[in-house]
Each structure stands twice: as C-alpha cells, then as structure tokens.
Structure 1
C-alpha cells in the first residue's frame, strides 16, 4: 500500500518531495521512500535525497527510514556501508516487502547496515515500529 492510500497520509504531518526516481515523505522522526519501478537507486540519487534532508531537518537530526517497496527497483546493498561512513542521521530502517523476492533482498541488505533494519510486510507494521524506537521516546 502506498503512503498516500493509507490512513496515515491524513493522520501524520508530512511534506512530500518528488524526485524523478521516486517520492519521499518527510515526517518528524522518519521518512518514507517509494521509488519508481525499474530504477537503480545509486549513490548519485542517494546524494540528491540527502541534500534535501539536510536542508529540511535541523542540524544534528536523527530519523528513521522506511523503504516502502511498492515497486520493483534495484539498489547495491554495499551502499549502506558508504552511507554510514559519510552520514549518521538514520538510527534505524524498516523495509516493507510485498513479495518473497523483496524480502530476500532486504535480508541481504540487513547484513550491510550497522543500524537496525526491520523487515516488514505492511506499512502499519513499519510505521508502528519506527514510531516506537527508543531513540524517539520522550522519557
């Protein structure tokens, strides 16, 4: 299910950023990506997204990342390692897989990230998990 078709679209305050390769929804503590069918999400595209995030969020921000894989696309798993070497603002990630193949890819990606990566099967599960991360608790 796409974010715009979910109950959360009207419940959660967000900003939508449209790129040629996909849409990103920026919320207080997390972002949701929905990349277009058939694209290859490479380092140049990641840098483009990072530029927008650095402008949108305050200095020193920490966020969760939800990859809502409603379409099939490719990414090099080792890019997670490059990302963590250069940036440290993502505290945890959730990958929503709608097919067994996507779930398997998320399992491979899990080995390349130093932060927690949860494999989910629904948008509800991913949002609930990210909203309840200890890094965002108000205690």
Structure 2
C-alpha cells in the first residue's frame, strides 16, 4: 500500500518530495520513502537525498525512517554503515516488505544498521511502531 492510500495520509501532516527515482514523505517524526520499480539505491541517490534533507541533518534533528517497499528495487546495504558513521539523524528504521524475498533482503540490511531496524509486513505496522518509539513519547 502506498502512503497516500493509507489512513495515515489523512491523519498526519506531511510534505511530499518527488525525485526521479521515487517519492519521500516528511512527517514530524519520520521520513518515508517509496522508490520506483527497478531503482538501485546507490551513493548517487543517497547523496541527492542527503542534499535535499540537509537542513534536518545540519540541525541534528532526529527522526525515524520507513522504507515502504511496495515496488521491487535494490539497495546497497553499505549505505547504512556509511550514513550511520557520517550522520546521527535516524533514531530507528522500519522496512515494509511485501514478499519473502524482500523480507530476506531486509534481514541482510538489518546486519548493517547500527540502530533498531524493524522488518514489517504492512505499512500500518511500520508507522504504528514508529509512532510508539519511546524517544518520541518522552515528556
């Protein structure tokens, strides 16, 4: 399910940012990516994303990240290592998978991510988990 087709697109305020390789939704608590079919997420794409969201990164704002993988695409897991070494932006991440193969890929990526990375079978599961993170709910 795409983010804009979910109940959360009506419940959460967000900004939609379109790229040639996909779409990123920015909410108060997380970024959510929906990349196009067949894309290979590499350093070039990661660099474009970092440039676009540099204000968040420069301000040291911490958010979650959700990869909504309803399309099939590849991801270089080394990007997690490099991003985590360079920036401290993501509190946690969730990968929404829609096939067993995609779930196995997410399991591999989990080995490269130094913080919490949850593999989810639905967009709702991922967003609910993200919104319940204790880092967002401390008063």
Q: For residue 53 of structure 1, what is the aligned residue in structure 2?
A: 53
Q: Distance in 1 between matches of 2:47 and 2:57?
A: 15
Q: Distance in 2 between matches of 1:52 and 1:104?
A: 30
Aligned length: 139
Question: Structure 1 unaligned runs (5+)?
Answer: none
Say whether 1:43 aligns with 2:43: yes
* Backbone CA RMSD of aligned residues: 1.2
- Structure-to-structure mapping, 1:11-90, within 5 angstroms: 11-55=11-55, 59-90=59-90
2:53 partner SS: helix
TM-score by length of 1: 0.96
Q: Distance in 1 between matches of 2:116 and 2:126?
A: 13
Q: For residue 117 of structure 1, what is the aligned residue in structure 2?
A: 117
Question: Structure 2 unaligned runs (5+)?
Answer: none
What per-residue deviation string (whole Å, max 9, x for no partner) do you get for residues 38-73 of structure 1?
011001111111122223577120000000001000
CA positional deviation for 1:138: 3.1
TM-score by length of 2: 0.96
2:117 partner SS: strand
2:92 partner SS: strand
